[in-house]
Structure 1
Amino acid sequence: MELTFLSPLPRDVMDAHGVPPGYTYALADRVRFQEVDALLHANNVAYVAWFETLRTRYLRDMGVLDCFESFPAFVVAEQTIRYRAPLLLDQAYVAAGRTTRVGRSSFAQDYVLMADGKLCAEGTAQMVNVDPDTGKGHPLPEAARRIFIDQDGAES
């Protein structure tokens, strides 16, 4: 099935590429030259960037960013990645994500990275919305919380 890079994928395309059920948002892309090491394997830092691209597109496309009066100040409080299989130069992949928990000023997301129907990496991120003046947690708008809950089934 032909992939459209960096555009949200419909569920049938996600299924065709092995994205597990429950993941609500996915993007396809390919491994670029600047993302590989001397053996032409994707460097571990590339996975961080891929999940960040997924997260920022998800927040925009799902309408979460529209819920804020000014641009939110999300910070990554914690991130994990478990590498399962290597990705190689020019290999296409699908990165998928979902919000699993939403708190007063934070939310948690899970990610998977699939290539050729195989799980290549899985990750998590704990995000906090901070007040840029104080650096302390700032409440998420209720409309943003509702998107996480209604679209992804996030626990609150």
Structure 2
Amino acid sequence: MFRTIIHPRVSETDGVGHINNTTIPVWFEAGRDGIFQMFMPDLSFDDWKLVIVNMNIDYVRQLFYGKEVEVFTWVKKIGNTSFVLYEEMYQDHQLCAKGTATYVNFNQKTQKPEPIPHPIREQLEAHLFHEHEIRDGSRGEST
């Protein structure tokens, strides 16, 4: 599991007083840096390997400016050329958003998917989310 802290900005707050719904996907992406580094250790766009092909978000509670947000990122499923992430976002120990994102290991030169290399697969497996785990419900951490 990866844990990322987000500090909401005034510019991300909408006219109703909560964080705008278009900001949540950006914050979830910020929580994926550890995943990106597995495939591109220097995070260079010269040989970027990952393309997102699907994202789903459930908005559970409003998020507000002035209080930090925790983003938790797990690997939910690993296929031959793709993997699915499961993500949760918390503020004040309350689940505010959750979702999934599917990425494909993609060769930009050939414009084709490639199998996930075994060493990277092992790294992804270290962050697998197990549905049967009991989570404490306050921070998304396994107990």
> Which TM-score applies when normalising by structure 2?
0.80
CA apart distance, 1:154: 6.4
The 5-angstrom pairing of residues 5-154 of structure 1 reads 24-60=1-37, 63-66=38-41, 71-149=47-125, 151-153=126-128
CA apart distance, 1:43: 0.8
Provide structure 2 residue ranges, at least 5 long, that are not aligned to the other structure.
131-143
Provide the residue aligned with 1:3 in structure 2: none
CA apart distance, 1:64: 4.5
CA apart distance, 1:72: 3.5
d(CA) in 1 for partners of 2:87, 2:107: 26
RMSD between superposed Cα atoms in Å? 1.9
Structure 2 contact 86–129 (Cα < 8 Å) conserved: no
Local SS of the residue matching 1:99: strand
Local SS of the residue matching 1:143: helix
d(CA) in 2 for partners of 1:126, 1:113: 17
CA apart distance, 1:134: 3.1
> How many equivalent pairs are there?
126
d(CA) in 1 for partners of 2:107, 2:92: 42
Percent identical: 25
CA apart distance, 1:26: 0.5
Local SS of the residue matching 2:15: coil
Compare the two structures and name the one with the higher helix fraction. Answer: 1
Compare the two structures and name the one with the higher strand fraction. Answer: 2
Superposed CA deviations along residues 36-78 of structure 1, whole A, max 9, x for unmatched, are 1112211111111001111124432xx4534xxx733211100
> Which TM-score applies when normalising by structure 1?
0.73
